Structure 1
Amino acid sequence: MTVLVFKTNMVCAGCKQTVTKALSRFGNAIRWTVDLDDCDKILRVETTRISPHAILQVMHEAGFMCEELV
């Protein structure tokens, strides 16, 4: 299992719902959480086969800024 960490610009529960719909295209291949209380609105994704690039692409398509933190 790999944990990918991203900085985002999500701000509310509505954003989380939008991201849930966007990330649902990966099905059970990922598990994710977001910390809206963190100043960087951290998105953590647990996966065994989804690339960081794929996550970035889906987030951008959903209208969010997303930057991988390494």
Structure 2
Amino acid sequence: MHLLIFETNIKSEEKVKSIQSTFSKHNDILKWSIDLEDVDNVLKIEATDNITETDIINIVKTHGFYIEALAD
């Protein structure tokens, strides 16, 4: 298991809900959260080793959001 951390432009509960089902249905995403109070709207994902940063970036971009990996 590993932790992936990203900056996003997901800035409201409505936007969080628009991506929620995708994350919840993904077998390799164990736990996730978006900090709407943080200036960078930080997305944290606990995932299995079967999913990469690039995979998450592609998923989020498919939903039309900005995402960039942050250093651990």
TM-score when normalising by structure 2:
0.87
- Determine the structure 1 residue equivalent to 2:64: 63
Q: Is the 8 A contact 1:22 1:62 kept in 2?
A: no
CA distance, structure 1, for counterparts of residue 25 and residue 53 of structure 2 = 15
* Letter aligned with residue 39 of structure 1: V
Aligned residues: 69
1:39 aligns with 2:67: no
Q: Secondary structure at the match of 2:38?
A: coil
- Structure 1: stretches of 5+ with no match in the other structure: none
- Which has the larger share of helix? 1
Once the two structures are TM-superposed, the CA of residue 11 in structure 1 deviates from its matched residue by: 1.1
- Determine the structure 2 residue equivalent to 1:18: 18
Q: Is the 8 A contact 1:22 1:59 kept in 2?
A: no
CA distance, structure 1, for counterparts of residue 21 and residue 64 of structure 2 = 12
Query: What CA RMSD, in Å, does the superposition of the two structures yield over aligned residues?
Result: 1.2
